[in-house]
Structure 1
Amino acid sequence: MKPTTTTTISALEVVNDLIPKLNAVEHHIEQMINAVLETSSVPNQIERYTKLQVEFQLELTMIRMNLSHLLKRYRHELETVMNDSRQDVLFTLDAYEAMAVENAKQLYDRVQRLPQG
């Protein structure tokens, strides 16, 4: 099923908010799941967290694949705004990019609500 959402995002938001949050989510998930897998001796818990790890990796892969398309399409504009934040522009997202941005934000929010150690 092809998504139909179209939206915009600023170059600065991509560079200063979206990408750093996605990287933080990936790092946090990796640390949390690895800690559980290394310390747990309960088979059900190990199985549950192994499945969770696969689900998160799949979701992150889908998000990164679609964001990669966005970064390639607007690479010159992104380079410009990284050198001079006053040159911020709005990017028009295709349906898949818009879905990736929304999914990245939702994933970040989900991870923020996870119990901390």
Structure 2
Amino acid sequence: MSTAHAPKEADVMAGSGSGSTSPSPRSGRSGRDALGSALAGGYLILCAALLVWAVVVSNGDNPDASFAGVIPIFATAPVSMVFLVLPDHASALYIAVGLGALVNAALIHWCARALRRGLKRG
């Protein structure tokens, strides 16, 4: 009988064997990283919903329909305002809001991670 596949007694006691039920030190870290990603993901979902709302409202017959695109631009400022200098095309709003939302979501994730690291040290 070969013992190559059986876990060593020291591994089982330390929780590093295949039957380990104790959480690894990395599992807590991935949970904290998921919070930052959830905040950034929630922001991206909010920006996408605002963009869809602006498109739906601007295609309607409302007197203020032309101002609907301002809301997603403000939600993704300041990056989206930089991209508003793109040539006047139908996709300019989508590009400006999309890139602005991605940059801001990356900043939200970075800030959440930096705050978590600061709280962990203190």
Task: Report the TM-score range of the alignment, normalised by the length of the smaller protein.
Answer: 0.3 to 0.5
Using the size of structure 1 for normalisation, the TM-score is 0.32
Using the size of structure 2 for normalisation, the TM-score is 0.31
* Structure with the largest fraction of strand: 1
Which one has more relative contact order, counting CA pairs under 8 Å at least 6 apart? 1
